[in-house]
Amino acid sequence: MSVYSVEEFMRFFSTTIAERTQVGQRQGITQENYVGYVYRSHPRLSVVVMTDKEYPEMVAIELATKISREFEQQYSEAQIMGATSAIKFPALDDYIVKYQEPHQANTILKVQRELDETKAVLHKTIEGVLERGEKLDSLVDRSNDLSTQSKMFYKTAKKTNSCCIVM
């Protein structure tokens, strides 16, 4: 990829996958370490989200869909069809910032992350309870042993002292 700049690669890759995607279709195409998620909602409107391989597919598709819907709400069919160059979309910058952290942008992933954190805390709590239970069992066993030993000591002392009369 040294022949092309990253921007040139992304522009070429985005254009290629957008042209090859049917209207109404969503798809993800992997190229080296990048994935291009495309949603083509209109013959003249495709949204391509470029991510690395670790970025969640569900979030990338959600982003492409949201951008497409908001763009179509903001611009009329005539504006889209009559466009001879790229149409500015100021909300795009906000989406880029918001979706940098997918777990914060996507409600399902956010809830999943919170559930995972809660699950980890519960596992630690249960482990602690089990350890305390083992310690309590150990203490009960030691107490029983001590009780048995003290009974034996008492019996031995009683036998030893039975030969002597204390006055």
Residues of the chain short of pLDDT 50, as ranges, are: 1
Encoding tokens for residue 54?
A: 């670790």
C-alpha to C-alpha distances, 89 to 8, 26, 67, 72, 117, nearest whole angstrom: 21, 21, 9, 11, 37
Q: Which amino acid is at 45?
A: L
pTM of the predicted model as reported, rounded to 2 decimal places? 0.59
Main-chain dihedrals φ then ψ at residue 23, nearest 5 degrees: -60, 135
Whole-Å CA distances, 137 to 40, 75, 127, 141, 143: 65, 72, 15, 6, 10
Instruction: Read off the pLDDT of residues 11-33 as tens digits, 9 standing for 90 and up.
Output: 888 889 898 999 999 999 898 88
pLDDT the model gives residue 1: 46
For residue 29, what are the β-bridge partners? 36
pLDDT of residue 38: 93
Q: What pLDDT sits at residue 108? A: 72
> What pLDDT shows up at residue 138?
79
- Look at phi and psi of residue 120 and say left if phi exceeds 0, alpha if psi is from -120 to 50, else beta: alpha
Query: 3-state DSSP: the chain helix, strand, coil percent, rounded to 5?
Result: 65, 15, 20
